[in-house]
Amino acid sequence: MLVVFAVVASVISGVFTIAVGVRLLLLWRRTREVPELSLSIACLSLALGVLFGTAYAAIGVAGGRAGFEWLVPLRIVTFALAPIALWIGVQRVFRPEARWARALCWLGVLGTVAAMVWRLDLGLAPRRFDFGNVASVAVTQGVFAWAAAESFAYYAAMRKRMALGLADRVTAQQFLCWGVSGLAALASGVVPVVVEMATGVTVLAHPAMALVSTITGLVSTLCLYLSFFPPLFYQRMLRAGDAAPGGV
């Protein structure tokens, strides 16, 4: 039952992530801006990573995994592509001019490549609590923390501007949703790894951990969709809240 729920949540999450990725790609065709392209690549590779991981877990539950081992390196590579694109996207969106942000971005990209090679070498061996694994988690998941911190800081600034009538609630909510999405993505990536380090059981072999990972992943995806492509009814609802007495 747990596995079925995890698979359903993964599929929904995958579909929404692909939707965000495709819409960003279509937007990039018009704007030719780096953030649209990099965030689109991040979403699409993340979706592929989730789908490969879910497929491998489901195959394992259904019987043997013989002949499907190739899904593991494929999952590792696609999961590494996502943070690489995300490091670039987050830097270009939030700190395009800052030199420290450019340096951090490059550190993140190079670190993620190193982590990918490290992980490919490890294969499905459970991660232990050591420097290599902790550093690998930091560089691949740190970008979600960065995106969340920048988004929440922006949300706080937007709230202050709203009091002066210099920002609208929709933009503020977009930043809030991006922040929540980043935190959920961070939880989705970090919690299973920490559990794996503590117990020695990989997320793919542990249905409960897969469930935690997929549910937080689903929250992350839905919030990302609301952040980038808030539906018109949702925008109207937020603006109506603005116009209502006492609405901020």
* Contacting residues toward another protein, per CB under 8 A: 23-24, 27, 31, 33, 35-36, 92-94, 96, 150, 154, 156-161, 164-167, 170-171, 174-175, 227-230, 235
Minimal distance, residue 95 CB to another protein, in Å: 8
Q: Which is nearer to another protein, 118 or 229 (CB)?
A: 229
Q: Which is nearer to another protein, 30 or 62 (CB)?
A: 30
**HSE, side-chain direction, 13 A CA sphere, residue 158:** 16
Q: Give the amino acid at 150.
A: E
| Alpha carbons 176 and 161: distance in angstroms, whole number | 15
Q: Which is nearer to another protein, 64 or 165 (CB)?
A: 165
Minimal distance, residue 47 CB to another protein, in Å: 18
Minimal distance, residue 66 CB to another protein, in Å: 44
Minimal distance, residue 160 CB to another protein, in Å: 3
| Alpha carbons 175 and 77: distance in angstroms, whole number | 29
Q: Which is nearer to another protein, 105 or 215 (CB)?
A: 105
**Token digits for 43?**
């979403």
Distance of CA 184 to the CA centre of its chain: 8
**CA-to-CA separations, 205 to 97, 150, 199, 202, 223, in angstroms, rounded:** 44, 34, 12, 5, 28
